[in-house]
Chain A
Amino acid sequence: MADIKVAAYICKGCGLGERLDTDALVKIAQKDGKVPLAKSHDFLCNADGVAMIKNDIANEGVTHIMIGACSRRAKTEAFFFPENAVARANLREGVIWIRPDTEDARETTQDMAEDYIRMGCAEVKAMTAPGGNTNTGTSKTLLVVGGGVTGMTTAIEASKTGYSVVLVEKSGELGGWAGKLYKRTPVHEPFKSPADTGVADLASQVMGDSNIKVYLNATIAKTDGAPGRFVVDIATESGATHTEDIGAIVQATGFTLYDMNKLPELGGGKSPNVVDQAGLEALAKAAAAGDGVIRRPSDNQPVKSVVFVQCAGQRDPSGTHLAYCSGFCCNASIKQAMYFKDANPSVDTTIIYTDLRTPGNGEDFYRSAQEKGVIFTKGKVAEVVPNGATSTVKFHDLILDDKDAAVADVDLVVLATGQVANSGINIDALTKPQVEGQEGESSAEGTVEVKPISILNLTYRQGPDVPQLKQGFTDSHFICFPYETRRTGIYTAGPVRRPMDIAQAREDATGAALKAIQALENAELGRAAHPRSGDLSFPKVRLEGCTQCKRCTVECPFGAIDEDEKRFPVFNESRCRRCGTCMGACPVRVISFENYSVNTVGAQIKAVDIPDEFSEKPRILILACENDAYPALDMAGMSRNEYSAFVRIIPIRCLGSVNTIWITDALNAGYDGVMLMGCKSGDEYQCHFVKGSELGRVRMSKIDDTLKTLNLESERVRDLEVAITDIERVPDMINKYAAELVAVGPSPFKGF
């Protein structure tokens, strides 16, 4: 870059002035950092300090700013210069707060600060201020896929906020699963009796809202584009296709009840008098339309005795049926038992459960059912034996440990089967063999495997639907970032995301609507969505250097990169979350961000002063994930948990963005060891980019070859899982590693 002017500012506040020789730091910035303008200030983040920087930008032509003060995670509002490239040298949390204030430690502490100044100056020179993505769309319309409670709530909530909505429903009417219910579990005081579903009210609100355009009997034929500029083809029953410009998508495709025909031992499919919960709702609706008496399907006799079998085909450790608890079914069975008891208290109603789980205010509802005389029996149902019009339910009574317990002459058996997500095609199964018998669908006998149909029909390179997280549910993390899928601008809500009831689904719908609105607004401004919200940088590729290896298009955890007909990567900036996994994957290093690239980190690695092998000052490079490990290190500083002065820490966007060249460069430059700190990967992952740390680790597992070619010990590179809570563990790990390296001895590459 031709006309850049770098300025370095060293803060003397927060004890930096007392603990460090700041005049020496200014000189380092000038001499080693080769910065034309270097200053120190007594209190850089106050109005006077910030005004000084702003004045230099305005009058001295400063374009690039290096601030040597606190962590880049602190004082972000004061040091906010959106027009400029900014690097931060972490002298407070990263140096003086993690070092003892003793005369002995003074020299190594100063060494550390000087290196961070060198690194900051080198980094900022390799950066440019991000200009923002220009390839944006301006559509502010929300697409809601699914017209159940979740879909309708999403549409209404988005409309209330002033956004137009297109709602696509596969069937001929709104309401979904809740529309088939007779009543729902109560959500208002005193939580004692089943309540009206409220579906009719929701549907009329949707139909009466001029902001909401409803397509019934319609499916999504094609979804193309990116957040802010999706182009969606909607196929209707008549054969006509409508094209809509969409900003963001909420997928609320709900669930299907687990097929009770897969449970022949529980009488599923063997007798008309064994029904699932949907079957009972239909009977109750029919009864309500008639004389209010629920009748046996086989011969229309009034039901005098009914048994509810909880966890039917659920919580199955054998892998044959659903492995999970669907969470809604205990309350649903309590509600259904009340259908009988409220109409006629002399009907025998027994709920056989293993653990009664009643979320929400279900405990009051449960108590009310006990008061109404519903019998709750803790047991595991072994078999339902239909015998003419009645059945016998055999079970293991878990309280009395009676293996031969049974209820005979049962008119109706209701199986509480669980929720199976309507999540479309499992795109992971397209590329690799299916793991852990998804829903056990393939192993169930006597059923025909239904090939799932794609819901969104995305034109993405990585498959037509959103990736699934666990057991077919689409999400990216149930706790930390709900609704987020691994497709930017596409959110899932309701039981397609995780098993839930109506109350939870409505809450979910509201959350997803707000997330989707956030996404389309960010997309228009060319900014990133969660977790780098507001980031204006995006990957740039030097196509002339590209070898079409497709690693970036395969690895991108968010499906942001497509391929053109010559198999060159096509970046869809609005779909990108800025994790940098593509940059770490690229073997020819042609992918970079304006403020984060192979160079910005590489320059920092090279800027560190490596003392010779006789100085007894080893150097350890730490590449720390900015989401978890770096905050943990900062917090270690805040708690004054000391760690070795020989480490030099560089924050990285994700372990997935680590390019192996950094490690090779560091070892070649004479570093004694490299520590990689990333989030937990695998099934219980904590990576903010879902697959980033996993992909990074796969790449790093091959680092041993590099070490061998350099003739170095394998101890010189250490990969660590660090969580944000590891405030005490991280300093400990650093100190242990530093001690280990002393035993290994200094790097043979020093001084070259």
Chain B
Amino acid sequence: MSTLIEASTDLALRANDLRVATTLGQEILHGVSFTLQRGRMLALVGESGSGKTTAGLACLGYFRTGLEHTGGTIELSDGTDLLALTDAGRRGLRGGSISYVPQDPALSLNPAMRIGTQIMEVLRVHGYGASEAERRERLADVLTDVGLPNDAAYQRRWPHELSGGQQQRVGIAMAFAFRPEVMVMDEPTTGLDVTTQALVLQTIHQLVTAHNVAGLYITHDLAVVSEVADEVAVMLSGRIVEQGPSDRVLHDPVHSYTRKLLNAVPDLAGRHHIGEVEAVTGALPIISRERAASARVATPEVAGTLLSVRDLRLSYGKNPVLNGIDLELGRGESLMLLGESGSGKTTAARCIAGLNGNFTGTVSLAGQTLAPGTRQRSAEERHRIQYVFQSPLSSLNPRRTIGESVEVPLHMSGSFNRKQRRALVLEALDQVQLAASFIDRRPGQLSGGERQRAAIARALVNAPSVLVCDEVTSALDVSVQASIIDLLRTLQVETGMAMVFVTHNIALARHISQRLAVLHAGRIVDLGTTDAVLENPQHSYTRELLTHVPTL
């Protein structure tokens, strides 16, 4: 009973049957209701297009161009309806009693303004304190609150002089400077490395609990939710389908969609299978330990070695990116190349595929040393190593049909006529589980997951023996990620190709790889079977990564 009374007095914001539609009349939010309480964090979880950001921005009385409010209220702690206020009234609240932390700190900070000045601006606009001295004091305090140094020299830094994590903390400091009642955070850790993410999440959690702020945390990452949120609301196409305390929702979900989302979350311990295709997940559970064990035996210079990389080095000017990488990949083996941004993992992958030919060292395939750049490699060599790009939005020409794009590698091999090419394209599309009708569609008509499948089809059409996948799932929703991982594993088993899976997401390790190489500052610091590295990491960096990875 006491909790009920407490809850009503601690109310900071209540969204009631919120409806938002496009100006053309298509409804985006179909009556969303949630309550934010002081000192508690509500996580709004959903996949892209579910309307979670629209709902979050509505808490600030803001609607993106092309959207309009069509019904429902947003009630503040003093009982006023935010959405009934004028534009000027809403602006007075924004950044003051309701603040917002955007997703990308690098884009949200003004690059031509010192960080101290940017935070001071918020305080000045809302008239914090009586004097400039008081505001300076608040500025120093708020920097401490978010775990940054508060000396004058630090305040005079430019945004580009800070790391991504520090930039995001400045963003949080700006949002927190005026002591808001409500903070809306839109995926504030999505672009950050796990270690940085862990620190930022800790900061956010402290602010919310210690300063009695009501938090709304918008995210697609359920593992993060379990770390920060007290309550969870799961959104699906403009509706909240499940809402409750985070322990209950994450461990005992009621709605089938929540279960599906939870099933798709990769799990470091490999306790469950992600994805839906039972046949593969059943036959090759995670990656079987026997296979992993045999892979360990088979690796050193046995005839099974397919791809070998020796002393790969590359630098941009004086800036070394790769400091001597040695790798071996057996036939049909899957290797995960793990590293944070800037570790050189993409560069290494591109060197292997011949996309970046400026390296020293050797890349050899089945004992034959390959030329550095693809143009110097023979058609046969090019076919055998294929590369899939990170962003499916960028890797397919928007003006070509899927069929035309997938056909490019076949054109270049030159030995097929039109009919054969079409048959091979259809076969590749079938392998990635896209219907034949996709052949005449353009990328703009496809979802992110479908585009990535098409990009994979382009890599498969020449039946490669090594597939290099560069962060192929990082731009995708978890459920789509699960299906792509499932697909890649199926393909690996069916075609017997070897795979280099480049990623920053260590949680995927047991789901995709037999061996794991950890890349740090252009060097491989840990290399071994996935189980061995995860259970007994040799390098302090790997251990640090493993402690910071968020788990459910």
Indicate whether A and B interact.
Answer: no
- Which residues of A line the B interface, CB within 8 A? none
List residues of B whose CB falls within 8 A of some A CB.
none
